[in-house]
Structure 1
């Protein structure tokens, strides 16, 4: 299968403002308040929900918000196979896809959590984590699992059909891409309907359309799939 380079430079940076809050207002308001307040409570926050519910978007948005104010953030996801030691300069610790952590990643996450909550110097740091299931159902070492679940816990809900279409339309507009109703119907009927997969597909289509100098149409989608 041919790997297509995505034009990531055109994709909007995840933020709390460009996240559709429908069904998840409490979680987003909590993150907005915590991210904006340097004197935030260090009580940890845990988000859980199905794939495509926006967990990574929100975690990335918080990291961007803290970085804009000069804060450094420790970030650990399942792709970071050999996590570094805890850094005292971190203002917060973010743990994504906790349900996928290896034994080494779990050990690092536990170390980061303990050091963030009981640092050698300065005030306690905020820990923000996310996974696809509630804390009680995580298949992790017990000392990590219980710590992830003792603070603020929010379930994220998938968007309804109309909301999913609105987000996809907005993402296309942000990239300067015209997406007809016919193409959107085809994407929603023929491909995975979770928002992260649809957004990734749109990015691939945009890159392919730019490379072939064609508009995004159903024949273009079929052509891209055949080439892959």
Structure 2
């Protein structure tokens, strides 16, 4: 998997390297009705003040993409960043000293809901980041009040910042999003083929992009254009 290695350098100059998907950028994110969220994130990253953004949306709408895109954007503007997917069952020690990092993005908050150690660790990290005038973005599938967080102090903190919902794309936007991603991969998919795909594959961006990758590999291997008959054959429809 292609990835960008992002170095988070602490005061003692020890690098912490984490992987970002190199195609998860703002440019490759078809925003549709979510365009304002990109603007909110960009302004927060470039702000001289501490910022907290809570983004939420159901699985597959693009929250993870947006968090990784935020890190790519921060890197382009000479700011240290860290993307941390909480569903990876990491040790809470990884949060130590992150208040020295310009931008911290915590994905999958739902994965640690009810875990006392993690909830306390994020609560204290939130406070340290605010004191250090840095930025924190948290993503979850539920809004702040519905995140099932047990620690009352953390629940209140989650409601302090900007909370925005990432909405699922309408069908027309899904077609455009699929064609945009195809173009980024050097593929040619016309509107008819794109419509055929979205009507037969789970309508989440992650599922559609995986399907696109499958078709791309098959097309290159078999030296075939991506047509509806070809899609039917590869996807066994």
Deviations 1:6-53 (A, max 9, x none): 7889x962223443333223322211111223x1x3241101112232
Q: Which has the larger displacement, 142-151 or 42-51?
A: 142-151
One of 64, 68, 76 as aligned partner of 1:68: 76
1:136–1:145 contact (8 Å) kept in structure 2: yes
SS of 2:133's equivalent? coil
Per residue, is there more strand in 1 or in 2? Answer: 2
Please give the alpha-carbon distance, in whole angstroms, between the structure 1 residues aligned to 2:37 and 2:183: 26
Unaligned runs of 5+ in 1: 1-5
Once superposed, what is the RMSD of the aligned Cα atoms? 2.8
Pair 1:127-2:136 in alignment = yes
One of 32, 50, 59 as aligned partner of 1:51: 59
CA separation of 1:169 and 1:93: change in aligned 2, threshold 3 A: same
One of 94, 109, 120 as aligned partner of 2:105: 94
Aligned residues: 216
Please give the alpha-carbon distance, in whole angstroms, between the structure 1 residues aligned to 2:3 and 2:51: 34
Residue of structure 1 equivalent to 2:149: 140
State the 4+ residue runs in structure 1 displaced beyond 4 angstroms: 6-9
Structure-2-length-normalised TM-score? 0.77
Structure-1-length-normalised TM-score? 0.80
Please give the alpha-carbon distance, in whole angstroms, between the structure 2 residues aligned to 1:220 and 1:21: 29
CA separation of 1:152 and 1:178: change in aligned 2, threshold 3 A: same
SS of 1:118's equivalent? helix
Q: Matches of residues 76-115 of structure 1 in structure 2 within 5 Å? A: 76-83=84-91, 84-88=94-98, 89-101=100-112, 107-108=117-118, 110-115=120-125
Residue of structure 2 equivalent to 1:3: none
Pair 1:34-2:57 in alignment = no
The structure whose RCO (Cα within 8 Å, separation 6+) is larger is 1
